[in-house]
Structure formats: C-alpha cells, structure tokens
Chains A and B, each alone.
Chain A
Amino acid sequence: MGKTIAEKILSEKSGTDAKAGQIVVADIDYVMVNDVTGPIAFREYGKLGAGSMFKDRMVLIPDHYVPNKDVASAEQAKEMRVFAKEHGIANYYEVGKGGVCHQMMIEEGFAAPGRLIVGADSHTCTYGGINAFSTGIGSTEAAVAFATGRLWFKVPETIKVELTGKFRKNVGGKDLIIKIITDIGVDGANYKVLEFHGEGVSGMTVADRLAVSNMAIEAGGKAGIFPCDRLTEAYVKDTVKGKYAPVSADSDAVYCSVLRYDLSKIESMVAFPHLPSNGHAVKDTNVKIDQAYLGSCTNGRIEDMRIAAGIVKGRKVCPDVRFLVVPASQRVYRQMLDEGLMQVFLDAGAFISGPTCGACLGGYMGILASGEKAVSSTNRNFIGRMGDKDSEVYLAGPEVVAASAIAGRIVVPDELEG
C-alpha cells in the first residue's frame, strides 16, 4: 500500500513505516519560535534541565510585537535577544534584518521540499507550499525540540485535493483557499493534511501555493502540502540552506477523502466575520470599509505587492479608507523600492510600514475601533481579531484588497472605473 507525502516524510524522519493513525517520534529539521511563543519555550527549556541544545536547528524570529510596541513587548523581545546571545544561537533575526517569521523561514532557506519543520506559530503550515511537512506546535514542545531535536506526531490522514484548470484574471490562491474552507468548514481538515494534486498546480505561482498552505490551519489542517515542481525548485534555489529531497505521494496512496476544484471556476472570494469559512463571492456582497490591509504571512510577499500595485497604479485611495501596506520582510520591502512599487502606493495615498505581524493579530499599527470594518489579506477574522470586539475583518486576496482600498467598499478590480 502506497504512502501520502505526510506519511513518507514522517516515515523517513522517524525511521519507521509510518501510517495514518500511528504516533511516531520524529527528527525535526528546524524548530522556529517568535517573540510571543519564544519566551514560554525558553522557560520550559530551563525546566527541562537538559544538557543538550540543537542550536543549528533552532530559528528565533521576533515579528509579532517588533519593532517594540510598548514596554511590555520591549521586555519580551529582549528576552529572546538575550536567550539567543547567551546560547550562541546564530539563527536569530533582528529588527532591520528580519520580517514575518514564515516569510523569513522561506527566504532564509530553512524551509525546503521534503523537510520536517515545526514552529510555535499556527501558520507554520505555510511551507507546505514548497513541499515541506511543516506544522504549528506550542511553546513547550518547541522547548523539547530544542533539547532533543525531535517531537511526537500523530501521523495524519490526508485529504486529496485535485486541481484542474487555471485561475481567471485577478483570482488567486487566497480565493481558492477561502473557497475550500467555506466548503469543508473550519474543522473540515482537523488533524488532517490537505495534499494538492493535478495539472492545476503547475499553473499556480509558488506565492499562490504558499497562501493556500498558509490557511490550511483555518480548516483545522495539520499541513497543506503541494508537490515539488520546476517552479518550486526555481523558487528555492538561490536561498536554500543545505541539501533537500523533494517528496511525492505514491500513486496508490490512501486518502480519507477527495476534493476537486476547477481553478477556472473559482471566483474572487471574501470571508465575512467571524470565521474564515464564511466565504462569499465578492460580486454578491456590498460592504463599505474603513481600512484595507495588505500584508502578513498569507499575502505579504513581493508577488502580492506587485499585484496590488498594478491595480492601485494611477488611482487614489478612497478618502474614507486607510490603506495599510505591510511587506512581509526587509527583502520584500527592498524589492518594492527597487521595482518602484513604493512610489505607486505612496502616490495613491497608502501608508507603508516596515515588516511586522502588527495589526494582523490585533497587535498594533492599524487597530480597528468599534464598528469599523476592514478588508484584509490576512488569515483570520475572529471576533476582535484586529481590534475592538465590535470591529469586523473581511478576508480577501491582494486583488480585492487593493481594489477595495480605491473603491471604499469590497469590490473586484473589474468594478473600478477607468
């Protein structure tokens, strides 16, 4: 009987014949923590009294509340800085050289095809977009991974997602994943993996795949894994650290269910408050907004910035809207400068900040007041997610966010005049 990608990677890393349902202890390639989850992990590591530390496999990335939001977050960021220094951990990314942790894990070449990566952040599943088995964990298990280089996993069942066709203009990965979550629900893939197949995959950009994998967790998924192809290889070749070995599923692998999507039929989607599964076709909606947010580990990549700039170019942000543009890393920020995108956004009247998770999680730099509505390229629209409990977050892709910033209500780019 054949194996899924998840079963293959977990077999290889645990040295067992791993099958869905079993619990295995597997070697991890990397373990990542951020400034929110790191401090608890450091405390728990201390409690372990371990003589060992797998420093080369540890990656520490402050991103949630840096640059420091206030004194409390400054103290927290300091804890991480001190821990990195005291233990001589090389993979620490200071403000000015870093960005949103998942973007950094990819840019810095930690994430790569076939690897097993864990991170104390739920969106660690992002790297499935480049064929890694990556999943979110808690701080205590991160501490155990620091000390032992391994972790326990329940080998997940896998849902096969067959993709055909090509996206229409101004439709992308974000629209697909909102559609999938709307169809299967926020627990539709709980404890499971979404594994993507079919000729539709090869027509998707890697950025689109990363956006899809990023939100696998919003369906409860443990991971969302794409095959490795020429686009993947080209995407990682300049930055990847060390060797890697792509993994594909066996043709006779066993899946718990199969979903099929024709990409040419996917419409521009928006997920209404307060769950990512409240998806609607944008054309059927009429929502006036106060803020548009472009950024995050879901859609803060250079590809997203290019798409949005293409829509915004030569237009002005609606006077009633604050348009926040937050590149996911210093590298994306620099590329935006080099490509003239900063000029486009500034001319339109957008606010551009350096990389941070910032307002995505209701941290800072764009918090919503009561009654305010935001269209956002982020991944969660829970109650009070970006601010007051009576504010509302509408999730959409970069095309819809950019167009909505101009129109002042949630629209597709085709609705813009001129």
Chain B
Amino acid sequence: MTKIEGKAWVFGDNVDTDQIIPAERLVSVNLGRLNDFIFEKVRPGVAQQIEKGDVLVAGKNFGCGSSREHAPLSLIQAGFSCVVAESFARIFYRNSMNIGLLLIECKADVKEGDVLSVDTSDGRIVDRSAGKEFKFQGHPPFIARLIESGGLVNLVKEGKF
C-alpha cells in the first residue's frame, strides 16, 4: 500500500500517447531521458518543472493511441508518483501496471498546483490546498499483485505468473 504526496498537474480528456511523448523521440538512445520530451508539443517546458512525487491528474481516456511503453516510462522518469484519471485507455493501463506506474481511476476535480495526498490503503485522494476529498476503488486482485511485485517482469521472476 502506498501513500503519496505531490503537486497536481492537470490535463483534460483524451490525452494521447503522441502528446505524452511524440513518435520522433522513440529511439533507443533516448531511453534513459524520455522525460525530457514529455508533452513537448502541447505544453512545452512542463517537463522541466515536474518534481519527484508530483501527481498527474486527467480526464477520460488518458493514454489513448499507441502501444509505446515509452509513454508510461517517460512519466516514471519525469518523477510522477501516479496518474489519476477518470478513465484510462486499455494498452496504456496494461503497460503502466506492467512496468510499475501507479494508475488510479478517479474523477478528481482539482486545480493545477494543488497539493494532493493519495492513500491507496483507504482509497482516498485529499486535495490539501482546496480541502476536498475524492474516493476511489481498489484494484482487482491480479492487478494488485502486479503492482505489489513492481511489474510483470518481477511477477514472472517470482514465479507468480
């Protein structure tokens, strides 16, 4: 179970993987620094302002589009502790769970810069800046196991797959 505290970065609906990281950045030499390029076409400069532990908050269908694992990987590298969205696109969801990026399905009406604390043990997001609270459902058992192991590679190595 995880407790997180971080600043909110707020995005809208249908944030696609090309927005998260453009295709032209998807080459092996960039694999260690994908975070440099996140959101460069839609919110230039944002990549450099994210601090470790920050929380990405979005609307519906976050991560739609490509199967590029570079998308969740770039968000991990940028320092995001988790992504909170009203819903996630399927492949992005799988990729994130498989590589250890925590996703939380929740409609959280927060403002950019608000300080959020997220507690997965009781399924609560508290917006400390606005004094608001949002509830979310826990993950199904298989996914919870995946998250606890830190991703699919670990799960396989532990002989649990």
> Could you say which of B16-24, B106-114, B120-128 contacts chain A?
B16-24
Interface size on B, residues (CB 8 A): 41
B1 is an interface residue with CB less than 8 A from chain A: no
Does residue B67 face the partner (Cβ distance < 8 Å to A)?
Answer: yes
Within 8 A of B (CB), among A212-240: 217, 220, 222
Judge whether B133 is part of the interface by a CB distance below 8 angstroms: no
A246 beta carbon closer than 8 Å to chain B? no
Q: A122-B91, A140-B95, A187-B61 known; A383 and B70 CB under 8 Å?
A: no
Q: Please, which residue of chain B has its CB at the minimum distance from the CB of A46? A: B153
Q: Hey, which chain A residues are within 8 Å of B73, CB to CB? A: 40
Whether B89 contacts A190 by the Cβ 8 Å rule is yes
B residues near A36, Cβ cutoff 8 Å: 23, 26-27, 68
**Separation of A138 and B63 alpha carbons in the complex (Å):** 13
Q: Which one, A25, A136, A143, A382, contacts B18 given CB within 8 A?
A: A382
In the complex, what distance in Å separates the CA atom of A147 from the CA atom of B26? 24
Q: Could you tell me if B89 and A144 are in contact, using CB atoms closer than 8 angstroms?
A: no
- The A11-56 residues at the B interface (CB cut-off 8 A) are 23, 25, 36-37, 39-40, 44, 47-50
Q: Known contacts A380-B65, A382-B18, A384-B41: does B91 contact A40 (CB below 8 Å)?
A: no
Q: What is the distance, in angstroms, from A256's C-beta to the closest C-beta of chain B?
A: 15
Q: Mark A386-398, 1 if CB is under 8 A from B, else 0.
A: 0001000000000
Chain A residues with Cβ below 8 Å from B67 are 37, 119-122, 124, 136-138
Is residue B64 contacting chain A, with contact meaning CB distance below 8 A? yes
Contacts of B64 in A (CB 8 A): 186-187, 220
Q: Per-residue CB proximity of B121-146 to A under 8 Å, as 1/0?
A: 00000000000000000001010000
Q: A361 to B23, Cβ gap below 8 A?
A: yes
Closest chain B residue, CB of each to CB of A73: B27
* Docked CA distance A40–B69 (Å): 8
**CB <8 Å contact, B87 and A187:** yes
1/0 per residue B142-158: CB within 8 Å of A? 10000000011100110
A-B pairs with the 10 shortest C-beta distances? A138-B95, A187-B61, A389-B41, A72-B27, A361-B23, A138-B69, A136-B67, A122-B67, A384-B41, A382-B18
In the complex, 9 of the A-B residue pairs with CB atoms within 8 angstroms, ordered by the A residue number, are A37-B69, A76-B27, A139-B69, A140-B153, A191-B90, A380-B18, A382-B16, A384-B42, A389-B42
| Chain A interface residues toward B at CB < 8 A | 23, 25, 36-37, 39-40, 44, 47-50, 64-65, 72-73, 75-76, 79, 119-122, 124, 136-141, 143-144, 147-148, 152, 186-187, 190-191, 217, 220, 222, 275, 361-363, 380, 382-385, 389
